[in-house]
Amino acid sequence: MASQTTIDGHKDDQTVLQKHVAFFDRNHDGIIYPWETFQGFRAIGSGIILSSVASIFINLGLSQKTRPGKFPSVLLPIEIKNIQRGKHGSDTGVYDSEGRFVGLKFDEIFGKYACTYQDALTEDELMIMVKAKRVPKDYGGWVAAYVEWKVLYMLFKDKKGLLQKQTVKGVYDGTLFHEMEKKIQMEKKAK
């Protein structure tokens, strides 16, 4: 039985991790090229510099991992169906090894590290969490986790400088990206 595609481009049989990255598959072909990563970052409100750096960093880091056994491609494609192979160490464990969402690990982030507000993280609390999740000598994982969370904070903190629990959940499942794109499109139309 073939899988159905939803309005936002997700397939109904995708894991949460696949749904998280599928937003960046702008033409919905199952492969994300650097220019699509760039377009996705621009669509959620990132500037040109951050979008450029992110597209290179992300595709360079994930392309070969999601294409095991294949000759490296200079186009740096990321294959969504294999995205779980790109999981790095020193992460939160919210995605398991198959790319499924682990609710207990997600709740642990806020139960352990959200000290000022129950359902939000300050920038300092976020950095404490990132440091606490480090695996010894996993330098690549340290950098990846730091950059992911720092960019997440920069893009999605609220007016009080807090990263809300619902916002983080929306990033994990990819729904926030679609919401941000719609919001930005509406703001452009209103001008």
DSSP string, 19-41: HHHHTT-TT-SSEE-HHHHHHHH
Which token pair is 61?
Answer: 């880091």
Dihedral angle over CA of 57, 63, 68, 70, nearest 10: -130
DSSP state of 163: E
Determine the average pLDDT of the residues in 113-138.
97
Residue-wise pLDDT tens digits, 124-136: 999 999 999 999 9
Give the count of beta carbons closer than 10 Å to the beta carbon of residue 137: 9
Residue 102 confidence (pLDDT) above 90? yes
Domain ranges of the chain: 1-86, 102-176
Q: Which residues of 63-76 are buried (b: 16+ CB within 10 A; e: fewer)?
A: bbbbbeeeeeeeeb
Pairwise CA distance, residues 150 & 144, whole Å: 10
Residue 13 confidence (pLDDT) above 90? no
Give the containing element (helix H, strand E) for 79: strand 78-79
Rounded to the nearest 5 degrees, what angle is found at the Cα of 28, between the Cα atoms of 183 and 76?
105
8 Å CB contact between 10 and 20? no
pLDDT at 1: 39
Residue-wise pLDDT tens digits, 15-40: 999 999 999 999 999 999 999 999 99
How does residue 11 score in pLDDT terms, banded at 50, 70 and 90? low
Q: What is the pTM assigned to this prediction?
A: 0.89
Pairwise CA distance, residues 95 & 138, whole Å: 18
